[in-house]
Amino acid sequence: MTVKVSSKAVAQEILDKYDNFLFDCDGVLWRESSLLPKVAETLKMLRKHNKNLIFVTNNATKSRLQYSKKFEKFGLTVSESEVFGSSYASAVYLRDILKLPKDKKVWVEGADGLEIELQDAGYQTLGGTHLPALDRPLNMEDKTDPINNIDPEVGAVVVGLDPKINYHRIAVTMQYLLNPNIYFVATNPDSTFPGKGALLPGAGMVVKAVETCVNREGIICGKPSKGMMDAIIKSQNIDKSRSIMIGDRFDTDILFGLNNGLSTLLVLSGIETPETLEALDPKQKPTYYANKLGDLYEYIH
């Protein structure tokens, strides 16, 4: 039975029961560049109670450092080591699990945050934001096109949310992934994300576009994958029984918590609604739910 955060008693219970608070970002802390109500107060309250805060986002457009700077703009002090993005999880997966040799290059279909994390992990990246030719429509006559100049040293392709997605980019990405010996890594499966007061296409749209034309599935590294939790546990020795995952989407955040033995708190300030919560399979339901994260603060103060 999912308990609603609608009283001081429930809010205090959460404060007392958990030491580690794992936060999704889009739809929980903010909607794009606007912080959601009482988020800053809630995070400050948790820090005052010596809670361990970990920020776990599937948004692969920023690196951990870029997220740390985004928090700073909101007046919040969050260190790079407290942030786990799907761009970082993908770079760690390539380096530590697939053990891609460092002399292999990585073709990026994604944004600069993904390139930065891959470069920080020791890889040379191609494509991404560094090939202006990809911003131009595919010219069938142009023999200098990247499609006709595939780099034989590419050993992996990583696909994530790319606000500059176009036919040309997908066409070049496809050439690499038609080779079964090249790894196909996908940052996250999210179909949508909340932005501009609406729902916008998520990374899942880019991943599915590539999967469709190469008839292969990418290895998902973000939530709800186990790899993301492994990266967090490796870096922060957390007791799962004293940990809670706070998110706005069932099939990534809440599933990530359920799959890894954490308690879960769904907030209705992002993707999910009271209707989708009502309709959810009881076995998939979160431990708690709230209208917004700031309710934790408001019910206690």
**Quick check: 202 binds ligand DEZ (CB under 6 A)?**
yes
Helix, strand, coil abundance in the chain, percent, nearest 5: 40, 20, 40
Residue 8: its H or E element:
helix 8-17
Task: Tell me if residue 162 is catalytic.
Answer: no
- According to CB under 6 A, which one of 52, 125, 188, 264 is a site residue for ligand DEZ? 188
Name the minimum Å distance from CB 224 to Mg ion. 12
- Alpha-carbon distance of 239 to 263, in angstroms, equals 12
Q: Which is nearer to Mg ion, 38 or 95 (CB)?
A: 38
Name the minimum Å distance from CB 209 to Mg ion. 21
DSSP secondary structure code for residue 281 in this structure: -
Whether residue 248 is annotated as binding a ligand: the answer is: yes
- Alpha-carbon distance of 83 to 276, in angstroms, equals 28
- According to CB under 6 A, which one of 67, 84, 183, 193 is a site residue for ligand DEZ? 193
235: three-class secondary structure by DSSP: helix
Name the minimum Å distance from CB 164 to ligand DEZ. 14
Q: Which is nearer to ligand DEZ, 154 or 262 (CB)?
A: 262
**Quick check: 39 binds ligand DEZ (CB under 6 A)?**
no
How many positions of this chain bind ligand DEZ (CB under 6 A)? 14
Count H helices, E strands: the chain? 11, 16
Which residue bears the tokens 């036919």? 167
Note the residues at the interface with Mg ion (CB under 5 A).
Answer: 24, 26-27, 248, 270
Q: Which is nearer to ligand DEZ, 78 or 203 (CB)?
A: 203
The sheet carrying 52-57 orders its strands as: 3-4, 288-290, 263-267, 243-247, 20-23, 52-57, 83-85
Q: Give residue number: closest CB to Mg ion.
A: 27
- Environment class of 26 (CB within 10 Å of its CB; exposed 0-12, middle 13-18, buried 19+): buried
Contact partner, 161, from ligand DEZ, Mg ion, none, Cβ < 5-8 Å per class: ligand DEZ
Catalytic residue among 24, 162, 253, 295: 24
Task: Tell me if residue 190 is catalytic.
Answer: no
User: How many Cα neighbours within 13 Å face the side chain of 134?
Assistant: 24
Residue ranges at the known binding site: 24, 26, 223, 248
Binding footprint of ligand DEZ on the chain (CB under 6 A) = 24-27, 57-60, 161, 188, 190, 193, 202-203
Active-site amino acid positions: 24, 26
Residue ranges at the known binding site for Mg(2+): 24, 26, 248
